Structure 1
Amino acid sequence: MCLLVSDVSTDVSYLFLKGTEELILFGFPEALCIYLGKELAAIVIKQPKRSEATLFSSVWEEKSDIWIMEEGCSCFYSKMGTKLSIGLLIVLAIVLLMVRVLYVVYWCGKPFPKGASQSFSTLVVLGSGGHTAEMLSLLSVLRKDRFTPRFYIAAATDNMSLQKAHSFEDSVAEKPVVKEASSQFMKIYRSREVGQSYVTSVWTTIVAIVHALWLMIRIRPQVILCNGPGTCIPLCVIAFLFKVMGIRWSSIFYVESVARVKKLSLSGFLLYKLRIADQFFVQWPQLQKKYPRAHYVGCLM
């Protein structure tokens, strides 16, 4: 066995025990070679010639290149493994999110479990153009003791709806103390006013969404009643996201306006197609035939 040695720290006795027959010291002084030759007589000690030194150098460079290639492959596979792990985590998160959404959609519309609370905090969304009159007519037939406390929300530019809600609560309240404890009145920013440019509506939409989120965190209703105003869309979407994230389970009841005879309003269409509403009611049989998941309840006015 012939061995090339280029490091003075090499344990020569260890090489001898391994059965080395010839030891070539690369780059060592001749005096050291003669000394080692006397100490280890069984091993032939010699220095490489110029050609041998050149050969050793080329072999060493080839091994260095191989080591660099191996390290490069290791780094490549390590990066690939990291990217693959991140990709798998993202896919797993998406799958879990989809499963949670399907779970929420499946349980939407199911009746309240036995032993549920005797009263439910209720968010009532009001709107101009007849929406408030229809909503108050609906509230007049509900059990006030079951849907309390009640939170009335109208657009910030709608000055009449909250006044009508105040009058309604005054007419049904038995005691002033109960009235104040069972109802609250709030305003919400619109995403876009009538005639507003689409460029400026981007900023107002962001403000409206943030405001709606703050209101939903503050109220956290168990029941949401709405019948078509555009202000109900961000509130219902946030309520649905709260259900998906497990923050709060809010049952959304949407009653389409009596003015909608042949097709749904934009708000109703979005809530129906996205399956956000737990229960969807229409007041005309033509709509029920066109949208089979809706419930026909007749004219409520």
Structure 2
Amino acid sequence: MPDWNVPTMIVLGSGGHTSEMLKLVSKLPIPYHPRTYVLADTDRLSEAKVHALEELLNESSNHHDQHQINKHQQHKILKMKRSREVHQSWSSTILTTAHALKDSLVIMIEDRPDLLLCNGPGTCVPLCFILFLFRVLCILPRSKIIFIESICRVKSLSLTGKILYHIADQFVVQWPSLTKVYDRVTYLGKIF
């Protein structure tokens, strides 16, 4: 078992975003720990899903030494304000986005991930911007942002994808048609 680790932050959104991301997390190798899950403070369902996944991951590691299991299955859940709630007016998003940026700043200062994984919920935008800023300022120079576009995006990128297209270190799509439209994407086939 490797003795190195990659502190990983995983951004969850409600519904399909969470399901897709947790499928990906369930396949991550052990070095991607400790895992920090970030979700909106109004998301009531994702937290239970995270605990269920982490419990399952711990159970599947029972063939390892108990100390190694505890060391490699660390996780925590952090909550933050959303930049914009569903059906929220665009004019009122200035204030909520400011709150989300403040929460993102606190989260990045405290957590300092080497890897930020996200797949489209708007909650990830302020986190990605703060991490990008930290890299520019050499606060977290080695940190990477991986954005995985949802499988439902066949012909164009999501709004979040369009916003993060130029700052993500790796931009993954799940349909080959998107590689003909966007040159900075990596097609890996179906991930989720």
RMSD: 1.9
Aligned partner of 1:247 in structure 2 is 139
More helix by percentage: 1
Q: Match for 1:282 among 163, 170, 173?
A: 173
CA distance 1:127–1:179, change in 2 (3 Å): farther
2:110 equivalent to 1:225: no
Question: How much has 1:234 moved relative to structure 2?
Answer: 0.5
Q: Deviations over 1:127-176 (max 9, x none)?
A: 113011111111122102x1110000111111111211111000001459
Aligned partner of 2:97 in structure 1 is 205
CA distance 1:199–1:254, change in 2 (3 Å): closer
Q: Deviations over 1:92-126 (max 9, x none)?
A: xxxxxxxxxxxxxxxxxxxxxxxxx8211000001
CA distance 1:199–1:281, change in 2 (3 Å): closer
Aligned partner of 1:126 in structure 2 is 12
1:262 aligned partner, one-letter code: K
Q: Match for 1:261 among 141, 154, 176?
A: 154
Q: Using the alignment, how far apart are the partners of 1:125 and 1:198 within structure 2?
A: 23
Q: Using the alignment, how far apart are the partners of 1:171 and 1:259 within structure 2?
A: 27
Q: Using the alignment, how far apart are the partners of 2:131 and 2:90 within structure 1?
A: 26
The alignment partner of 1:267 has SS state of: helix
Quick check: 2:173–2:185 contact (8 Å CA) kept in 1? yes
Q: Using the alignment, how far apart are the partners of 1:131 and 1:198 within structure 2?
A: 22
Alignment: residue pair count:
182
1:168 aligned partner, one-letter code: L
Aligned partner of 2:191 in structure 1 is 300
Q: Deviations over 1:252-292 (max 9, x none)?
A: 111100011110001111111xx211111100000111112
Aligned partner of 1:151 in structure 2 is 36
Q: TM-score, normalised by structure 1?
A: 0.57
Question: How much has 1:179 moved relative to structure 2?
Answer: 7.3
Q: Match for 1:291 among 162, 182, 189?
A: 182
CA distance 1:133–1:181, change in 2 (3 Å): closer
Q: Using the alignment, how far apart are the partners of 2:90 and 2:174 within structure 1?
A: 33
Bigger Rg, structure 1 or 2: 1
Q: Using the alignment, how far apart are the partners of 1:198 and 1:138 within structure 2?
A: 32
Identity in percent: 48
The alignment partner of 1:186 has SS state of: strand
The runs of 5 or more residues in structure 2 that have no matched partner are none
Question: How much has 1:180 moved relative to structure 2?
Answer: 9.3
CA distance 1:181–1:284, change in 2 (3 Å): closer
Question: How much has 1:181 moved relative to structure 2?
Answer: 6.3
CA distance 1:181–1:170, change in 2 (3 Å): closer
The alignment partner of 1:253 has SS state of: strand
1:226 aligned partner, one-letter code: C
